[in-house]
Structure 1
Amino acid sequence: MLTTTRQSLDLKAKLFRGFSDPARLSILEALRDGSRTVTELVEATGLSQSNTSSHLSCLHDCGLVSRQQQGRYVRYQLSDDRVADLMTIVDTLLADVAQGVYACTRYSAREEQA
């Protein structure tokens, strides 16, 4: 039972890593409005094309984003409506706890990137 719980926790932590990087999160936020090409995501996020493509590959491999060939372009979209639902829940939760999150000194986005 302990192993199953540990495996479940590890898998959940791995899922949340997909959301933990600001670049990946900005891509997911942009995809909440609908499918986009890499070029459209670069414009929406301000990330470089190579950085965007790299993070899209990660998000696709993790199952958070799906892609569809459309002629010579590939369009990316959230793989499941629940991804957007989860992000909406985070928005509403953050509205209530933002002060505590902002003041938290245990970890920061910059430390996570290091």
Structure 2
Amino acid sequence: MAMTTTEIDEGVVDEPEALSVAALLFHGLSDPSRLAILRHLTLGEHRVVDLTAHLGLAQSTVSKHLACLRDCGLVASRPEGRASLFRLAEPEATLEVFGAAERLLALTGDGVALCPTSGLESS
């Protein structure tokens, strides 16, 4: 789904396949633990053990979320000894998404938090 902050291709706005892929990306970002991991990775590469210590999450939880983020193409890893170092796959784009989300949240105020259907599956 090729969208920039200044333009949206009208031919793609309602294309089901492109919307499905975008929805999957946003689903990958929808978990608070995954967001915390991504935010922490904006500081640089980290091992799972570092992330568990910094975020107070169990190793299995961090590993599960890193696998999801890797499958979504949001993080990458490289081996270092017996461990792996994880990093943002696309740091600039990820920072842009975080910035855009912060701007949107500032504009909507508490509207998102108060949304009665937030987190509910659509039928």
Residue in 2 that maps onto 1:65: 75
Distance 1:93 1:44 in 2: 27
Which runs of no fewer than 5 residues in structure 1 stay unpaired?
A: none
1:96 is aligned, of 77, 85, 107, to 107
Q: Distance in 1 between matches of 2:113 and 2:30?
A: 15
Q: Is residue 24 of structure 2 the alignment partner of residue 24 of structure 1?
A: no
Is it true that 1:86 corresponds to 2:97 in the alignment? yes
**Larger fraction in helix:** 1
Q: Structure with the greater relative contact order (CA < 8 A, sep ≥ 6): 1 or 2?
A: 1
Q: Where does residue 74 of structure 1 map in the other structure? A: 84
**Structure 2: any 5+ residue segments left out of the alignment?**
1-10
- TM-score scaled to structure 2, two decimals? 0.80
Instruction: Please say if residues 78 and 84 of structure 1, whose CA atoms lie closer than 8 Å, have aligned partners that are also in contact.
Output: no
Superposed CA RMSD in Å reads 2.0
- The alpha carbon displacement at 1:11 in A equals 0.5
In 2, distance between residues paired with 1:100 and 1:34? Answer: 32
State the number of aligned residues: 109
CA distance in 2, matches of 1:91, 1:40: 26
Is residue 112–residue 118 contact of structure 2 (8 Å, CA) maintained in 1? no
Q: TM-score, normalised by structure 1?
A: 0.85
